[in-house]
Amino acid sequence: MKIILTLIAISILGVSFAQEPTSVLITGGYLHIGNGESIVTGAVGVRDGKIVFAKNALTFTVDEGKWDTIIDVSGKHIYPGFIAPNSTLGLTEIDAVRATKDFDEVGIYNPHVRSQIAFNVESKVMSTVRTNGVLLSQATPRGGVISGTSSIMALDGWNWEDATISMDDGIHLNWPSSMQGGGWWAEPAPKKRNEHYNNRKQEIYDFFEMAKAYSNIRDHEEKDFRLEAMRECFKGDKRVYIHANELQELVDVIAFARELKLKFPVIVGGYDSHLITRQLVDAEIPVMVVRPHSLPENEEDDINHPYRLANLLHEGGVAFCIQNSGGMEAMNTRNLPFLAGTTMSFGLSTEEAIQSITLSPAEIMGIDDNYGSLEKGKSATLFVSDGDALDMRTNNMFLGMINGKFISTRNFQQELYEKYSKKYEK
C-alpha cells in the first residue's frame, strides 16, 4: 500500500516507520550534492538503500505508483551525511570518567590495536552529534607513537558490527614534535628546537623498515601481530595517517612517505601545510586540516590563521578535509558543520565548505565509491535540514537516512528541554 507523507505527518511521526519502505522519493528541497554542485529544486530517489538519481525536480513528473514513500521537502535543504574524520566519538562518553574512555591503550607502537571493536553505538553523546547531520565518523585511537588502527563507522546501528562502514582503514602515527615550549595562550613563550627530534624520527624509520621487510614475506612461522597490522600499509589499501603540524615535521613526513613508498599517506593537522602546498600536491598527500576553531600556535601567527587554513590549502590545490580533534572532541563533533561554516567567512564557497565535510573526507579515507555525495549508485546516507545546516541558527534535522534506513531525528537533550519547558510553563 502506498505511503504518502506530508511535512506535518513526518514531524508528528518523527520519521518512524513500522516497516522500512523499499523506495523513497525526497523532492522539492535545495539539493547539495556534496561534490561542489547544487540544484535549487532537487529530488533524490532511493531504492533498496541506494540512490537511483539526484536531479532537478522540475525536469520530470512524479509517478506516484513507483514509490512506496514520497516526501515533499520544499523550502528545506538536502545534504549528504556529514563525515567526521579523526574522532574519538563512540570511544569515550565522559572525558572526566576514566572508565568511559577506551581510545588510548598501553604501549608505544600499537598498530594492532583496533578501534572498531570498542565503538559504542549506545553512546548518548552520539545521538546529539547525529541530529546535527554528522552520520559517519572515523573512530580513531590516541596515544603512543602508533596509536592503533581506525575504522569508519555509521552513527547508528545495533552493534559495532552493524555500524561498520570500513574496517581497519588505516593506522595512526604521531610524528614527533620538532619544536618544544611555547607556553599557552594566557602565558605565551618562545619555542625552541626539540633536541631529541632526530632520534625519535629515526626510531620511526627503524620500525617501518622492519615492518616493510616483514611484509615482503607472505607467511611467517611465528606471526607478529604488530607487524601483521602494518602489512596492508605497504601492500594494500590501508592508509597511514601521520599526525604532524610544524613545518619541519611536514617536510620530513613527505620525505618519509616517499622513502618508505607508502601507498596512501595522509597528514592529520597540518598547521603549517599552507607553506608547502606545492610539495604536498607533487607528493599527492592530502591533509585533514586542524580544527578551524583553534587559537594560533605561534606568537607571530595571524589570529585568524586556523580559520583561513582550509582556503589556503584549497587555493594551493591541496586535497583536504576538515576534522575536529582537540579538547572535548567527542561532544564537540556536533560542531563539525559549523567549523565548515566558519571557513565560508574566510574564502570557501558554500558548496566547497560542504564538500570539505562530505565528499573530501570520503575520498581521503577511501569510501567515496559509496559515501560522501548524493550521486547515482551510492548509499542513501543523507539528511534534510529545515535551513542551512552550516549555520547553527538554522541547522535542524527534519529527516535522516543511513544506508537507506530512516534514523531518529531526536536526542535526549531535546527530550529534556521539552520536559522542563512544560514543567516551567505551568
Q: pLDDT (tens digit, 9 = 90+) per residue, 36-58?
A: 999 999 999 999 999 999 999 99
**What digits encode the pLDDT tens for the residues 195-245?**
999 999 999 999 999 999 999 998 888 889 999 999 999 988 899 999 999
Least confident of 94-108, 113-127, 163-177, 245-259: 94-108
Q: Which CATH number fits domain 83-370: 3.90.1150.150, 3.30.70.120, 3.40.50.300, 3.20.20.140?
A: 3.20.20.140
Write out the DSSP string of 185-236.
TTEEEEEEE-TTHHHHHHHHHHHHHHHHHHHTSS--SS--HHHHHHHHHHHS
pLDDT score, position 12: 37
Query: Taking the model in full, what pTM does it have?
Result: 0.91
Q: Which amino acid is at 302?
A: D
**What digits encode the pLDDT tens for the residues 134-168?**
999 999 999 999 999 999 999 999 999 999 999 99
Least confident of 21-25, 253-257, 346-350: 21-25
CATH 2.30.40.10 domain residues, the chain: 3-80+384-425
Query: How confident is residue 63, by pLDDT bands cut at 50, 70 and 90?
Result: confident
Across residues 345-353, what is the average pLDDT?
A: 96
pLDDT score, position 103: 81
State the cell numbers at 135: 552520520
> Pairing relation of β-strands 164-174 and 146-154?
antiparallel
pLDDT score, position 115: 94
Residues of the chain with pLDDT > 90: what percent?
A: 75
- Write phi, then psi, for 220 (nearest 5 degrees): -115, 140
- Report whether 76 contacts 309 (CB < 8 A): no
Distance CA 79, CA 60 (A): 21
CATH 3.20.20.140 domain residues, the chain: 83-370
Across residues 101-129, what is the average pLDDT?
A: 91
Q: Which amino acid is at 213?
A: A
Across residues 108-132, what is the average pLDDT?
A: 93
Least confident of 19-28, 73-82, 371-380: 19-28
CATH code of 3-80+384-425, in short, is 2.30.40.10
Cα–chain-centroid distance for residue 84? Answer: 2
3-state secondary structure of 281: helix
Q: Which of 228, 307, 238, 241 is nearest to 269 (CA)?
A: 241
pLDDT score, position 301: 87
Cα–chain-centroid distance for residue 282? Answer: 25
Residue 6 or 313, more confident: 313
